[in-house]
């Protein structure tokens, strides 16, 4: 290829990707490329982590795969881009990724200043603190003068500062861009405390030399609603992500699972018919097939299934459903109806 042609091709593809980012036609881009590029963490067990063979798993990974299934009908067409906390929003705004599902907290600033839209909450969390048990600390209020390890570019940094100031306590914050370095620093005794989202503590303690030698303190110092994020000005894609998440929640509520979805297609229930595409044109309204939700449940599962497989009580993270239970079981997970 001649140099001018190469430059031309590069210029066209740069133009194309910035046009997609600016136009908000992410769905057209995903369809044209036959793949959805999802930004995830660099390795947070239960949420998004890759094994030695490069296979990604986690509750965030499953949400990425669900959105790909809704649009392309095939979960395996998902590409994963591991990102640090600091890199994630630029990667989304620039169009490098289509969707961000990276244990990311929905805050006002992220909506108003970064031009993003949170399409739901796939894990309600709060920030906690972990200390070596040998310190004998039983409450965060005993931590005056502590040194604290955490991730840069997070809500975590801001909340811990508020907490210590509000309680008139001194502290030294050591921030790291890479979580593995922050964890290694804490493991090596560089800090008295490791702080992050409580789900993150459950995941990251598994990376410590001796996970059982650490205690998570009782205080929950913030609200961390974690969810999928899209660029603003991208309403159709925003709707697809939102309704894919709602499809998975509604499926759990209606008892539709990956193992019975085929059989449920024969159900006489009008709401199940609408969900699974045998009545109405709910997929068409989003520019995707009418059986999009049935495909998501068949290939990825309902919300309860992805919770149990990735982070639930029978996984290494061992997280009880708690506030992430469905509203009908006393929790906060409540999806608007598909109708
Ligand atoms: N939810 C917080 C914290 C997110 C965050 O980056 N947490 C770290 C510590 S749990 C993380 O995800 N690390 C995993 C990684 O970078 O692979 C936010 O949105 O700012």
Q: Count the Cβ atoms, other than its own, within 10 Å of residue 321.
A: 17
Mark whether 173 and 300 lie in a shared domain: no
Mark whether 68 and 162 lie in a shared domain: no
Instruction: Read off φ and ψ for residue 28, nearest 5 degrees.
Output: -60, -40
The owner of tokens 């497989």 is 309
- Give pLDDT tens digits for 260-306: 999 999 999 999 999 999 999 999 999 999 999 999 999 999 999 99
pLDDT at 2 over 80: no
Position 285 in a domain: yes
Give pLDDT, residue 24. 63
Position 339 in a domain: no
Q: Is 42 in the pocket of ligand 1 (CB under 6 A)?
A: yes
C-alpha closest to that of 316 among 44, 20, 11: 44
The closest residue, in CA terms, to atom 17 on ligand 1 is 42
Mark whether 262 and 206 lie in a shared domain: no
Mark whether 135 and 119 lie in a shared domain: no
Strand partners, 117: 230
Mark whether 103 and 51 lie in a shared domain: yes
Mark whether 116 and 131 lie in a shared domain: no
**Burial tier of 42 (Cβ tally within 10 Å: 0-12, 13-18, 19+):** middle
Cβ–Cβ under 8 Å, residues 150 and 157: yes
* 266 C-alpha to ligand 1 centroid (Å): 42
Residues in the chain: 339
Taking the CA of residue 199 as reference, the ligand 1 atom at the shortest distance is 10
Give pLDDT, residue 23. 54
pLDDT at 115 over 80: yes
pTM of the model: 0.93
Q: From 175, 197, 222, give the residue that closes a domain.
A: 222
Q: Is 41 in the pocket of ligand 1 (CB under 6 A)?
A: yes
Position 337 in a domain: no
- Give pLDDT tens digits for 98-107: 999 999 999 9
Give pLDDT, residue 320. 98
Strand partners, 216: 130
**Burial tier of 81 (Cβ tally within 10 Å: 0-12, 13-18, 19+):** middle
Q: How far apart are CA 307 and CA 176, in angstroms?
A: 29
Q: Count the Cβ atoms, other than its own, within 10 Å of residue 91.
A: 17
State which H helix or E strand residue 99 sits in. Answer: strand 99-100
Position 186 in a domain: yes
Mark whether 9 and 99 lie in a shared domain: yes
Mark whether 33 and 58 lie in a shared domain: yes
pLDDT at 310 over 90: yes
Find the CATH number of the domain harbouring 242. 3.40.190.10
Q: Which domain holds residue 167?
A: 127-222
Q: How far apart are CA 232 and CA 229, in angstroms?
A: 9
Cβ–Cβ under 8 Å, residues 118 and 200: no
Cβ–Cβ under 8 Å, residues 143 and 171: yes
Q: How far apart are CA 164 and CA 147, in angstroms?
A: 11
Q: Is 60 in the pocket of ligand 1 (CB under 6 A)?
A: no
Position 338 in a domain: no
Q: What is the count of structural domains for the chain?
A: 2
* 283 C-alpha to ligand 1 centroid (Å): 33
Q: From 193, 222, 251, give the residue that closes a domain.
A: 222
Cβ–Cβ under 8 Å, residues 122 and 304: no
Mark whether 195 and 214 lie in a shared domain: yes
Mark whether 13 and 162 lie in a shared domain: no
Cβ–Cβ under 8 Å, residues 186 and 110: no
Taking the CA of residue 103 as reference, the ligand 1 atom at the shortest distance is 1
C-alpha closest to that of 245 among 74, 116, 7, 59: 59
Q: From 188, 222, 256, give the residue that closes a domain.
A: 222
pLDDT at 183 over 70: yes
Position 336 in a domain: no
Mark whether 187 and 161 lie in a shared domain: yes
Tell which one of 42, 49, 151 to mutate to probe ligand 1, the residue whose CB is within 8 A of the most ligand atoms: 151
Question: 8-22, 25-39, 315-329: which has the minimum mean pLDDT?
Answer: 8-22
Radius of gyration from C-alpha coordinates of the chain: 21
What average pLDDT does the structure give for the chain? Answer: 93
Q: Is 49 in the pocket of ligand 1 (CB under 6 A)?
A: no
Position 246 in a domain: yes
pLDDT at 21 over 70: no
* 272 C-alpha to ligand 1 centroid (Å): 36
Mean pLDDT of 112-135: 97
Q: Count the Cβ atoms, other than its own, within 10 Å of residue 109.
A: 10
Both structure tokens of 50: 């890759």
Both structure tokens of 250: 């509604």
Cβ–Cβ under 8 Å, residues 190 and 149: yes
Question: 14-23, 161-170, 247-256, 312-321: which has the minimum mean pLDDT?
Answer: 14-23
pLDDT at 11 over 70: no
* 103 C-alpha to ligand 1 centroid (Å): 6
**Burial tier of 165 (Cβ tally within 10 Å: 0-12, 13-18, 19+):** exposed
Position 334 in a domain: no
Cβ–Cβ under 8 Å, residues 59 and 47: yes
Give pLDDT, residue 175. 97
Cβ–Cβ under 8 Å, residues 320 and 313: yes
How distant is the alpha carbon of residue 195 from its chain centre?
A: 19
Mark whether 232 and 308 lie in a shared domain: yes
């Amino acid at each position: 290829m001649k140099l001018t042609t190469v430059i031309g091709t590069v210029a066209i593809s740069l133009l194309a990707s910035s046009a997609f980012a600016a136009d908000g036609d992410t769905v057209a881009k995903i369809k044209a490329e036959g793949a959805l590029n999802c930004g995830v963490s660099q390795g947070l067990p239960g949420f998004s982590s890759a094994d030695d063979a490069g296979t990604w798993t986690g509750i965030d990974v499953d949400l990425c795969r669900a959105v790909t299934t809704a649009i392309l009908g095939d979960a395996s067409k998902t590409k994963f881009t591991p990102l640090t906390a600091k890199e994630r929003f630029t990667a989304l705004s620039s169009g490098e990724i289509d969707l961000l599902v990276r244990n990311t907290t929905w805050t006002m600033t992220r909506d108003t200043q970064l031009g993003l839209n949170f399409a739901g909450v796939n894990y309600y969390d709060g920030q906690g603190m972990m200390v070596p048990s040998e310190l004998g600390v039983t409450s965060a209020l005993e931590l005056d003068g502590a040194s604290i390890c955490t991730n840069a570019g997070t809500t975590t940094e801001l909340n811990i500062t508020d907490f210590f100031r509000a309680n008139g306590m001194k502290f030294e914050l050591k921030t790291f861009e890479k979580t593995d370095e922050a964890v290694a620093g804490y493991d090596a005794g560089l800090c008295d405390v490791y702080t992050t989202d409580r789900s993150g503590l459950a995941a990251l303690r598994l990376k410590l030399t001796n996970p059982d030698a650490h205690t998570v303190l009782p205080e929950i110092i913030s609200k961390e609603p974690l969810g999928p994020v899209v660029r603003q000005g991208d309403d159709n894609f925003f709707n697809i992500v939102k309704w894919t998440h709602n499809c998975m929640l509604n499926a759990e509520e209606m008892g539709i699972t990956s193992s019975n979805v085929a059989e449920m297609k024969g159900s006489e229930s009008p709401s199940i018919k609408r969900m699974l595409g045998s009545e109405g044109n709910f997929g068409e309204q989003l520019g995707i097939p009418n059986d999009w939700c049935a495909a998501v449940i068949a290939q990825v599962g309902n919300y309860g299934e992805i919770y149990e497989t990735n982070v639930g009580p029978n996984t290494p993270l061992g997280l009880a459903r708690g506030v992430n239970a469905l509203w009908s079981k006393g929790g906060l997970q409540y999806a608007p109806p598909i109708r």
